Structure 1
Amino acid sequence: MILDGSYKGTANMTIPDVGAGVHTLRLEKAGYYPYQDSIIVNAGLTTNVTWILTEIPPPVVNGSISVQSTPTGAAVILDGEGKGTTNTAIPDVSAGVHTLRLEKTGYYPWENPVIVVAGETANVAAVLSMVPPATGSIAVETDPAEANVYLDTEFIGLSPVSVGNVTPGSHSVQIEKDGYEPREVNTTVSAGATTIVSVALTALPPPTTGSLDVFSEPTGANVYVDTDFKGITNLSVPDLYPGLHTVRVEKDGYIPYENASVPISAGAVTQVYAILDPVPVPETGEIDISSNPSGAAAYLDGVLKGTTPLTIVNLDPQLYTIRIEKSGYLTWEENVTVVAGEAALVVADLIPIPTPTPTQTPTPIPTTTLQGTGGLLVVSEPTATVFVDGVERGKSNEVIGNVIGGTRNVTLVKAGYKTTSFPVTIPVTRVAITPKIFLEPAGVPTTVPTTAPTTLPTTSPTVTLTTAPTTIPTTSGPFPPAPSTGSIFVYSVPFGCSVYVDEIFKGTSPGFFGLIEPGTHELKLVRTGYLDDVRSITVHAGDISTVLVMMVPDVGSIISAFL
């Protein structure tokens, strides 16, 4: 919503504090025609405006091609992509010049450019030219018949058999039949002629071995005969001596099949069908836990399971909370998902508890209240529940919105840790970000920080303090030393914008980007369908500059389609 050229937010909403008189109201939404009208505002009254935006119809950008050929049945290839056979119609073709090619065996390829106009059909009628005969054929007959015939090692059928489209020149004909010696005949094929190959086969002496055909369900299983690997199913194993043999079929994930009495007869084929049953799917998983240093107490969902290293088995598939505790170290906690049949690996690098330095208790900071709201991002380790002025508002390490502006009393609460309270100044329409706060496990001596956590941005408006005191922090961990670089916190509407600082990609919004050198930088946000937002931003060492960006939809390409 844009009132008198000034952006006010998104519908539906109420715009307060509008001066009496005539104003220009404009509504814009991507994919819809904008609405603009003059409205009259009377002092003390609310003027209601209701409007239904009209959706912009998508522009027609494609056409189609109707392809016919003589003869029909030619393969249709448009811009290198197959589109079926003639006669056919090709829909949804982008406007412009395309290359159409028709191919059919025995005919010269046909290829021409085709111009497609949006919303229209381009008609193509192609007459294919026949290629003069350039091949010959081979006819094979044998005595006895029903022999396997191969041409240049490729099977062409059982004798008698004929095959065409054979290229002129020398070729090899192989003939095989059970019980007969194999034959190979070299012959020559001429274009437009048929070469006849006639072969009398010689019978073999009676066989002394048999063979084995092995099939499995599923296929792809390893086959062993008398412990010797023979191949992967389905397969045929020749030259086995008559008698009983052991056949074993194995496949990962399945129970092996084994038959120790498979009979083999000379000159015969024995068939084995192995139905493999899947290995039962495990119903539980496990968690392998180690820590540095070892010897720490390990808790699963609050229940002590032992000391590290250890493995917790027979766990139902679900989410668990692992907590590692060791005297002199900060408590380590992490959520772990257990998957049936798998072992989740947990490695906890424990951090020694910082030695507390006693400091002077700061003077209580009174609370203040500003008109409006802002955001709050409390950075802590570990994550804790955040209370603002005694009301639960969310979790640390997440942005909390709609916090009343001014100085607020913030409290962090987490089981097993000491409760920490401190004042934070919330800037209106901005986000306050605290330094990282390390919560102290229960039982560790407390210290009071010399200064209250600072809030960002540094440009928050100055307010007059009231006399309502805030609670002084009872604990807080050591703060890191003052850095020599600054940071930028970027919040955008919509989310998912690419963020560049001095033309260097930093990530996507919303996001926190650190290690920025102090000084003035160019900040650019980019997202498809929106105009690029480019602005200058000044970064100070040790400060976090907060930027709120409302991206403007790019409607230029849509409007140009109707000009």
Structure 2
Amino acid sequence: MALSGSGSAHQMIGGESGYYQIASDPSGATVTFDGEQKGVTPVTVQVSSTGTPGHTLLITRQGYEPYEQSIPGNPQAGQTIPIFAELSPVITISPTPIGGDEGYFHIDSVPRGADVTFDGKHVGETPVTVPVYVTGSPSHTISVYLPGYQSWSRTYNENPGAGQTINVQANLVPTQQTGSIYVTSQPSGAKATLDGTDSYSTPCSFPVVPAGSHSLTIYLSGYQPYYASPQVTANRETTINAVLAPVSTTGNLQVSSSPSGAAVYVDGNYFGHTPTTVGNLAPGSHTVSLRLSGYQEWAGTVTIYSGQTTSISPVLTTAPSTGSISVSSTPSGAAIYLDGTYQGKTLSANPFYIISVQPGSHNLELSLLGYQDYKTTVSVAAGQTTQVSASLNPNPQPPSTGTITISSSPTGAEVYLDNVFQGYSPQTIHNVAPGSHVLLMKLGGYEDWQSTVQVSGGQDTPVSAIFSPVPTTAPTEAGTIPVMALVAIGAAALLLWRKAL
């Protein structure tokens, strides 16, 4: 068993109170704090920062050894101290009965804490050891069940030898929970795009959406783009009503970070990696977050001004107590699920970072229309990054359309395909018919960029646009030439007048 604790994970508004955030593996363990039950893990316990320092912690769960710990001191006002307890299972080995030797099945799962049924009898939760007679029936059925995951079952037509242990591990597959999103806009008829893939005209409904956070963009010619990050709950409908504002002069956001290479999200939408400039942002407040493997997520709010460029350069903080997963795929645009929770989509030129992942084993799944699902188990260590690079296999029936993956410098440019507005860069356009297409990109303060792209069925066509600033003409010395001309005319008139005399 192990218990780890670190300093403040984040600041909370709380006056003279501090907090202990207590979790365990497996979760659902009873927490007793200073002799008083506080609930089951994960749970947050509030204490007075000026109270008596020092506390006792007891964590118990059936089938596991109890954990006891003395915690020195108190958290500071508003501080949260995370505590993680890895519980050790109680392994009971029955003595060998008279008249027959025994062997063992040791059953584990990823994740742990799943219910185990052995030959129709519940024998506990993973990990668990089950004794069997070596001369008994050689056929055994093992079933493993954990809420939120698909049931796992195997039949073993053998017995272990005397004193031998057969290890069984069930890698559980998450059950994808889905909800829906209903989108309206004022005015209606706008193009709503979810996660850069599916697009419909408002009012519209996205019926089968994985539970979790998603990026939604709503575009209508003559209006500023609308960004949202809807949170989808399983078996529920999330409603988004976008009031679109008419187009006005936009501003830019210049983002750098220390270290560089962090993924930039503005209002929940991906805009490349630092350093980068995001254009076509409506004046007003915008949320910005930066994500980089091995570092805590940085989040803040910036104010954009009409016709101006706002600059930010955050210094990222390392995250030594958690790990990260770097995910990329060929082709890109695959939906990413970690332990059944939607994370985002793989990017075309850079990896997608899943940060602040608890150490241990996790199930990772990638899904892309027209390709077979990719599933794997990844092991995450504190302070380290686990890399996953997946080559997706096409379905037996080849797709009849292709995709165009667009990047630009600066980002945030308007994208038009065959004179139809598609959104803002970076952008992936799906379901494009094979053949030649005209791609046009516009960005305020820069010359228009245009190219003809060739699309093939089942393939991705990458496009990278580098904009050139609109040249500025030097101001003329207004008034110099007209004045000189007037002087010359006046001198000539004076000479003629004298001759006339």
Judge same fold: TM > 0.5, yes or no: no
Larger radius of gyration: 1
TM-score (norm 1): 0.24
TM-score (norm 2): 0.27
Higher relative contact order (CA 8 A, sep 6+): 2
